[in-house]
Amino acid sequence: MADTSVMNHPSMICTDLPADMLEAVVTKLPTVDLLSASCVSHGWLHAVRSSLHTKPRLFPWLILRCLPHPVATTHTIHALDPHSRTWLCVPRHYNSTGKAKEPSPTLNFLHGSTRDRLYALTLSQLLISKDPFGSSCQMEAKGPNVWRQDAVVAEVQGQWVVVVGGGFLTDEGEEEGAVEVYNKQTGMWELAEPMPAEFNGSTYATWLSVAVSEKRLYVIEKKTGWASRFDPESKKWGPTCQLRTIPSVSKWAIVMAGKERLLLVGAGAEGGTGKEVMKVRAWEVDGDSLQVINNNKPMEMPAEMVDRLFPNFDSLDEARRQVCSVEVCGTEHGGYMFDPASMKNGVVMYQFPESVGRAYRESVAVGCSPVLLHQVARCFQS
C-alpha cells in the first residue's frame, strides 16, 4: 500500500518538481494542507494558486455545530472537506484575555444563496459571522421587533436579512408567522406580510425546509409539502401550493439547484406490512411557478445509500419510523442529504452536472458553504 504520509506533509516533497507535476500533486491535497503547501516555496505557492484557478473547489463543505445537549452553551464545530472526504475539528477561538469565545445559545446557521454562516439572534441584537466557522463577527445590528423562539433566518441579495416565523405568540395565545426584513442599507427592520395561512401551526424552523436564491426565500413544510416563496423587496409571499408527487412520500425538503430552480427531495416508506422499505427521491421544481417540471423523471437514491441513512428500517416500530426524516443542504454545485434525527448514520453527497453521526439527545445545527483558502487560514492557523 502506498505511503500517504508524504502527501499529508508537503514540506517532505521535493521542491524542484516541474510545474505541471507540482500542480498535479497540489490538486490532490486536502484543502487545509494547501496552507502549508503554499509556504514551501514560491513555486509551491504558484502551484496552489494555479490549481485553485484551473480547478476551483466550488463543492460546498458540510459544517456541523454540535451541542452536547439542547440547552448547552458550549459547542464544537466540525467540517467535512469534500475534496479529501475527511472531517476536521475547527479550533476554538479566543479573545484578548485568553478565554474561549462563548457564543449565544441561539447560535445557528444563516441560510444564504451561495453560503451559510453562523448567526446569533436575541431580542436585543443580531450577530452574523464573517465565515461559516464563526471565527469573527461581520455584522452587528439591533434585534427584530418580534421575539421568536425558533425562526428561519436567511440572507437574500446580500442586502436583506429575513426572519420568518419562530413561534411568536399573540396576546390571544395564537401562533403567528410574523415576518420581518432587515435592510442593511437603511439599518432598519420592516414588518412584512406574515406567512401564508397554510403554514399555521408549523412556523417553527424545525418544521420547515429552506432554500435561498439570489432573489427569494423558499420554504416547505416538511410533513405536508406546502411550499411558498418570499420576495424581500416587495415583502410579499406567493404563490403557495402543495407539492405532492407520490402518495408514499411523508417527509419533504428543498435546496437550490440553479437559478430559480429547486431540488425537491421526498422520503417515505413503501411496501407491504412487515416488508416496508424507505425510498428517497428527488424532483426538479420551477422556482417561479413552484411546480414540478414534468418532463424530468424523479431521481431515486440507490438502495444501499438509503440503507446507510436508515439502517434496519423494516425492523423499527411505528414510533421510530415516524422520527425518520430527510434533510438536504447545498448549493448549485451539489450538497448533502441526511436524516437530521440520526446524523451518526452519515450523509450522502450529491453533485449536479455542469449543465445545470450523532446521538438523538445531541443538538446539531447544519450548514453548508463553499470555503475559501483565507477562511481556512483564519480558523486553522494560530
Q: Is residue 30 part of a domain?
A: yes
Please tell me the pTM assigned to this model.
Answer: 0.82
Question: What does the alpha-carbon distance between residue 181 and residue 187 come to, in Å, rounded to a whole number?
Answer: 10
Number of domains observed in the structure of the chain: 2
Under DSSP, is residue 22 helix (H, G, I), strand (E, B) or coil?
helix
Q: Per residue of the chain (382 residues), what is the pLDDT tens digit?
A: 444 444 455 545 555 677 888 888 888 888 888 988 888 888 889 999 998 988 888 899 999 888 766 666 677 889 999 998 888 888 765 444 444 454 454 578 999 988 899 998 888 899 999 888 888 888 899 999 888 888 999 999 889 999 999 866 656 555 678 999 999 999 999 999 999 999 988 999 999 999 999 999 999 999 999 999 999 999 999 999 998 778 889 999 999 998 889 999 999 988 876 678 899 999 999 999 999 987 668 899 999 999 999 998 888 888 888 889 999 999 989 999 999 988 889 899 999 876 543 333 455 666 678 888 888 777 776 5
Q: Which are the contacts of 197, defined by CB distance < 8 A and separation ≥ 6?
A: none
**DSSP assignment of 148-190, as one string?**
-SS-EEEEETTTEEEEE-S-EE-TTS-EE--EEEEETTTTEEE
Q: Dig out the grid coordinates for 156 from the structure.
A: 437574500
Domain assignment present for 286 = yes
Instruction: Give me the amino acid identity at 26.
Output: V
Nearest one of 268, 244, 265, 376 to 329, comparing CA atoms: 265
In a domain, 134, yes or no: no
Dist CA 102 CA 100 (whole Å): 6
CB-CB contact of 105 with 118 (8 Å): no
Cell readout for 66 is 454540535
Domain that residue 39 falls in: 10-54
Contact 45, 36 (CB under 8 A): no
The amino acid sitting at 33 is D
